[in-house]
Amino acid sequence: MTVHRSLSTVDADIVTGGAEFSEEPEVLTCQKLWCEVIRDAFKVATQPRGADTLDEILLAREFFRPSAHFYTICGLAGIDGDWILPVVRKQMYAADVMARMARRGVKI
């Protein structure tokens, strides 16, 4: 079953876009774990909290670059890495714009 969802509903459902989930319980459990890893990296990269350090934010953003590491983790999660990259980049850009506006005192 392929599930496609928009990342505009960013949060727990972020990594379901382009996913192929297994029907085997052990594999599904593993896929869910790797989906959580990707979701957590996404949240730190696009919606950092006060507890997130600059190094953590930069590391999370670096994760979303086309690399063997990224594609391996996407594969373990059952996610199409080529599908998720442009969507995540768009969200990171939007987060940067919002941060710049907030620093300038622009209210949204």
Instruction: Identify whether 68 is part of a domain.
Output: yes
Structural domain count of the chain = 1
Instruction: Identify whether 108 is part of a domain.
Output: no
Strand partners, 19: 3
> DSSP class of residue 31?
H
Instruction: Identify whether 46 is part of a domain.
Output: yes
| Segments of the chain scoring below 50 in pLDDT | 1-18
Which DSSP string do the residues of 45-83 spell out, in sequence order?
HHS--TTS-HHHHHHHHHHTSSSHHHHHHHHHHT--HHH
**Domain range for residue 91?**
2-103
Per-residue pLDDT tens digits for 28-42:
889 999 999 999 999
pLDDT for position 5: 35
